[in-house]
Amino acid sequence: MLSRVAHSLYWMSRFIERAENMARLLEVNLQFLFDFQDMQTPALDQHWASLVLSTGDEELFAKHYDRADSQTVTEFLAFDLRNPSSIFACVYAARENARMIRDQISIEMWEAINELHLHLKSSNTAAVWAAGPQEFFSRINRASHQFQGLTASTYARNEGWEFIEFGKYLERADKTTRILDVKYHILLPSATDVGGALDTAQWQAVLRSASALEAYRRYYVREILPWKAAEFLIFSDSFPRSIHYCVAQVEEFIRRILGETGTRPRSPAARASRRLLADLQSLTITDILQQGLHEFLMEVQTTLAQIGDDVVQTTMFYPAESALEEQQQQQQQQQQ
pLDDT per position as a tens digit, 46-74? 778 888 888 889 999 999 999 888 788 88
As a whole number, mean pLDDT of residues 138-165 equals: 95
| pTM to 2 decimal places | 0.88
Q: How far apart are the first and last CA of the chain?
A: 44
Give the per-residue pLDDT at 195: 56
User: Residue 65 CB: number of other CB atoms within 10 A?
Assistant: 16
**Number of domains comprising the chain:** 2
As a whole number, mean pLDDT of residues 18-38 equals: 81
Three-state SS letters, 204-247: HHHHHHCCCHHHHHHHHCCCCCHHHHHHHHHHCCCCCCCHHHHH
Residues 60 and 108 placed together within one structural domain of the fold: yes
Q: What own/partner pairs with CB < 8 Å and gap ≥ 24 does 255-260 have?
A: 256/162, 257/159, 257/162, 257/163, 257/166, 257/311, 257/315, 258/311, 258/314, 258/315
Residues 32 and 95 placed together within one structural domain of the fold: yes
Q: Which of 108, 138, 155 is the last residue of a domain?
A: 155
**DSSP readout, 239-273?**
STTSHHHHHHHHHHHHHHHHT--SSS--SHHHHHH
Confidence band, pLDDT 50/70/90 cuts, at residue 224: confident
Residues 163 and 89 placed together within one structural domain of the fold: no
As a whole number, mean pLDDT of residues 160-172 equals: 97
Q: Does 34 or 175 have the greater pLDDT score?
A: 175
Residues 163 and 311 placed together within one structural domain of the fold: yes
Residues 143 and 169 placed together within one structural domain of the fold: no
Give the per-residue pLDDT at 193: 53
Does residue 325 sit within a domain?
A: no
What is the chain's mean pLDDT, rounded? Answer: 86
Does residue 226 sit within a domain?
A: yes
As a whole number, mean pLDDT of residues 105-131 equals: 87
Amino acid symbol at 181: D
As a whole number, mean pLDDT of residues 207-235 equals: 90
Does residue 321 sit within a domain?
A: no
Confidence band, pLDDT 50/70/90 cuts, at residue 205: confident
Give the per-residue pLDDT at 192: 47
Confidence band, pLDDT 50/70/90 cuts, at residue 325: low
Q: How far is CA 134 from the centre of its chain?
A: 18
Residues 105 and 202 placed together within one structural domain of the fold: no
Give the per-residue pLDDT at 43: 64
Confidence band, pLDDT 50/70/90 cuts, at residue 334: very low
Q: Which of 139, 155, 171 is the last residue of a domain?
A: 155
Does residue 328 sit within a domain?
A: no
Give the per-residue pLDDT at 191: 45
Is pLDDT above 80 for 44? no
Does residue 167 sit within a domain?
A: yes
Q: Does 153 or 259 have the greater pLDDT score?
A: 153
Confidence band, pLDDT 50/70/90 cuts, at residue 27: confident
Does residue 228 sit within a domain?
A: yes
Residues 21 and 166 placed together within one structural domain of the fold: no
Residues 165 and 196 placed together within one structural domain of the fold: yes
As a whole number, mean pLDDT of residues 175-204 equals: 70
Q: Which of 155, 173, 202 is the last residue of a domain?
A: 155
Residues 265 and 304 placed together within one structural domain of the fold: yes
Does residue 245 sit within a domain?
A: yes
Residues 29 and 117 placed together within one structural domain of the fold: yes
Q: Write out the residue range of the structural domain in which residue 307 sits.
A: 157-316
Is pLDDT above 80 for 110? yes
Does residue 109 sit within a domain?
A: yes
273-306 confidence digits (pLDDT tens)? 999 999 999 999 999 989 888 899 999 999 999 9
As a whole number, mean pLDDT of residues 138-162 equals: 95
Give the per-residue pLDDT at 186: 57
SS3 assignment, position 87: helix
Q: Does 166 or 26 have the greater pLDDT score?
A: 166
As a whole number, mean pLDDT of residues 94-116 equals: 95
Q: Does 42 or 181 have the greater pLDDT score?
A: 181
Let me know the angle formed at the C-alpha of 32 by 26 and 37, rounded to the nearest 5 degrees: 120
Residues 233 and 130 placed together within one structural domain of the fold: no
Residues 193 and 89 placed together within one structural domain of the fold: no
